[in-house]
Amino acid sequence: MTTLAEPAERVPARWTALLSLAGLGLFTAWYGPIQVLLGKQAQLLAPDGKELALGLVVGLGAAVSMVANPLFGALSDRTTWRMGRRLPWTALGAAGGAVSLVVLAVAPNIVVMALGWGLAQLTLNAMFAALVAAVPDQVPHRQRGMVGGWLGVGQTLGIVVGSGLAAAVGGLAAGYLVCAAFLLVATVPYLALRRDTVVEARPPLDWRGFWVSPRRFPDFGWAWLTRFLMNLGNSIAIVYLLYFLQDAVHHDDPDGGVFVLTAVYAATLLSTVVVGGVWSDRVGRRRSFVCWAGIVMAVAALLLAAWPTWTGAVVASAVLGLGFGVYTSVDFALMTEVLPAAGDRGKDLGVINVANALPQVLAPVLAAPIVTHLGGYPVLYGLAAAVGLAGAVLVFKIRAVA
């Protein structure tokens, strides 16, 4: 395959399925800790300051992610190994992610926990950067909504599987180890396909290239900003979900409650994620799908603000899934269509993925004082809705994509 050419041949269903399976492993390793294990570990290691401890660990990990994703994307753009430019980083990221989860399993204090999660974010982002960059390398525009949908399926099931394993296995160490094993098992079949692009020598990495000027590439800039705002709203809403169930809803089993809400969210998301992507491909439109998805997600946050009960949380989870399913597949396709240069797809997608990571850094900083001093969870979820809605509206600033 000519690396810098836009792909024209449709990818086979088997490749899409195994890419989604690798994504399932990756997101299981990510969300098992994020949804359950890190919160439980912070409560165990720092019971009197669990909110601050969790915020510091998650924030540090997200800061690492913010650097790692574009860095490994750029390195994969320039990798000239015979097995390809994306697969080596997929393999190394999966192996490193598994080792990182083992470190978390034996962490005796918050410092080691933070270091373990930082290492996990470093290695898992190497894998993530390689997986998503494979899509514009190999998938034609008319298929990207569908492939993005199936990647969304892998992500969603990863959240469910990760949360389920973490809640069901019992014990922090066992939860981390099972997530690590699942990551490796799910990644091997994708690697075994050996489908990748191979490049010859590329110019050395120019660190100035990580800045993509919004003046020169305004559609890329607006796409980055809208993704940032919508992910910030989502991150604000979920960062203290475990504590929301525990302290505001007073749920008898908050760990199990997180899993139930995740399952409800996943069920409704799965009903829209592939359908939304395929529908967007067929009508050739992206922006209106992203906007309406963002509005639905904002409604979900408002439900949590106005109805802080178990029933309200279940309804909000169902509504969030409906919106986030369409957003996941269609926004991913939109992002691949505003990349400035084919030769830097991995790096540029990594820069866009900073819009996923930076909100994880900011969300605990914003959420902690709101929950403890500035109005509590109703104000927190109202802010989440307002920020996400702003991102949904601004998507129409993108001009090159319908």
Listed residue (217, 231, 218) closest to 390, CA to CA: 231
pLDDT band at 1 (very low <50, low <70, confident <90, very high): very low
Q: What is the pLDDT of residue 2?
A: 46
Min mean pLDDT across 2-16, 88-102, 277-291 is at: 2-16
The Cα 360–Cα 189 span in angstroms is 31
CATH superfamily, domain 13-195+213-397, is: MFS general substrate transporter like domains (1.20.1250.20)
Q: What is the pLDDT of residue 389?
A: 95
393 pLDDT above the threshold of 80? yes
Question: What confidence tens digit (pLDDT) does each residue in 337-375 have?
Answer: 888 877 788 888 888 888 877 887 788 888 888 988 888
Question: What confidence tens digit (pLDDT) does each residue in 229-271 have?
Answer: 998 998 888 878 888 899 899 998 887 888 788 789 889 988 9
Question: What confidence tens digit (pLDDT) does each residue in 41-89 have?
Answer: 998 998 888 878 888 898 888 889 888 989 999 898 888 887 888 999 9
Rounded average pLDDT over 146-175: 85
Domain map of the chain by residue range?
Answer: 13-195+213-397
pLDDT band at 209 (very low <50, low <70, confident <90, very high): low
DSSP 256-296: HHHHHHHHHHHHHHHTTHHHHHHHHHHHT--HHHHHHHHHH
Q: Can you read off the two tokens belonging to residue 326?
A: 């369409």
Q: What is the pLDDT of residue 201?
A: 66
How deeply is 216 buried, as exposed, middle or buried, from its count of CB atoms within 10 A (0-12, 13-18, 19+)? exposed
The three-class DSSP label of residue 331 is helix
Q: What is the mean pLDDT of the chain?
A: 88
Residues 6 or more apart whose CB falls under 8 angstroms from that of 169 comprise 175, 178
pTM, rounded to two decimals: 0.81
